[in-house]
């Protein structure tokens, strides 16, 4: 991959160069010491991947990510000294289209472990753009009941898009909500807390054995796949192990299509790659309502585009209309106890 490095510390830039030098198939094409310089470099020579620091003088990494994705879009991986200490900035950058985040490999101590993790993240990003859409097998519609489920899938650009949808849902929302966001398990608890600032519904990470309850948002929280079991409880599963998307939206959609006994609304938001498209099509073929985000409002028009190409979405909507449509679809029934 042709890679650009953005970091105002020369020692950090050199550390990243040394990590990338372990892989002869990666090449650093430029480095930038500020966000503004990075925007200019991307406009002049758009790389296959940008390694973006967050805290820099002048234009920070969040604003640089926003401008790059608007003017010269390319994959961006946030690499900063402490992701945990800058969680809000990480989710903001991901909302503008950054794919993932990881700590800068230690300059001393356990350097090899940090370097291996960074290279694994880079490999994953390379695989995302080439992973195929997996066809789903049509199933007969399930027997409808009043237990309703909203299943949201998202990747790059997802945190702010998910926050926007949750912000528009009322406190008496009449469905259970599950969110599958491509994010490292290290950051999932912080993302649940961050989403909770926007949502009128309580947001927490999903644990093994949980059930999907009306008026509650559960967020997938490990690097394994969240799935609904036949007994109606949630679990984390390793298989399919070969999927580059972890947790996978497709795996969750398939599991709820098989085991949820009630209406489902599947929503596929912004993201790189194709995860969720086949699963969304499966839900539509079962008679459930499906929505994909439109091109204009997507930070990264990959997953929704794949869904549109498969005719997986009943509706293709701009982000600012999705919450209002969900309010219409989840009108409370006063005769039903959640």
The residues annotated as belonging to the active site are: 155, 182, 275
**Eight-state DSSP code of residue 98:** -
- 179/137 Cα distance (integer angstroms): 23
The b-or-e profile of 118-150 (16+ CB within 10 A means b, else e) is: bbebbebbbebeeeebbebeeeeebeeeebbbb
The per-residue DSSP string of 23-71 comes to: -TT-EEEEEESSHHHHHHHHHHS--SEEEE-S--SSS-HHHHHHHHHHH
Q: In sequence order, what are the residues at sequence separation of 6 or more whose Cβ sits closer than 8 angstroms to the Cβ of residue 66?
A: 96, 97
Per-residue CA distances from 289 to 148, 264, 268, 277, 315 (Å):
11, 7, 12, 14, 8
Structure token pair of residue 5: 């490095």
């Amino acid at each position: 991959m042709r890679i650009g490095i953005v970091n105002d510390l020369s020692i950090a830039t050199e550390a990243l160069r040394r990590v990338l030098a372990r892989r002869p198939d990666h090449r650093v094409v430029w480095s930038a010491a500020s966000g503004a310089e990075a925007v200019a470099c991307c406009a002049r020579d758009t790389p296959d991947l940008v390694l973006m620091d967050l805290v820099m003088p002048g234009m920070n990494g969040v604003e640089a990510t926003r401008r790059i994705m608007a003017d010269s879009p390319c994959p961006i991986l946030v690499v900063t000294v402490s992701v945990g200490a800058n969680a809000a900035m990480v989710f903001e950058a991901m909302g503008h289209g950054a794919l993932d985040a990881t700590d800068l490999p230690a300059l001393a101590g356990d350097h090899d472990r940090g370097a291996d993790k960074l290279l694994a993240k880079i490999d994953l990003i390379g695989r995302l753009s080439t992973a195929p859409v997996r066809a789903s097998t049509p199933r007969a519609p399930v027997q409808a009941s009043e237990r309703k489920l909203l299943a949201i899938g998202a990747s790059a650009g997802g945190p702010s898009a998910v926050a926007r949808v949750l912000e528009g849902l009322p406190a008496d929302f009449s469905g259970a909500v599950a969110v599958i966001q491509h994010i490292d398990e290290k950051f999932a608890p912080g993302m649940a807390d961050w989403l909770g600032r926007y949502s009128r519904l309580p947001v927490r990470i999903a644990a093994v054995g949980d059930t999907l309850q009306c008026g509650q948002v559960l967020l997938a929280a490990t690097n394994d796949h969240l799935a609904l079991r036949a007994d109606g409880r949630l679990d984390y599963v390793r298989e399919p192990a070969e999927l580059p998307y972890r947790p996978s939206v497709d795996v969750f959609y398939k599991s709820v299509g098989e085991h949820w006994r009630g209406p489902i609304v599947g929503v596929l938001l912004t993201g790189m790659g194709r995860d969720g498209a086949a699963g969304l099509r499966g839900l539509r073929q079962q008679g459930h309502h499906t929505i994909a985000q439109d091109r204009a409002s997507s930070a990264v028009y990959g997953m929704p585009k794949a869904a549109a190409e498969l005719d997986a979405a009943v509706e293709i909507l701009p982000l600012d209309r999705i919450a209002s449509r969900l309010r219409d679809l989840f009108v409370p029934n006063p005769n039903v106890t959640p």
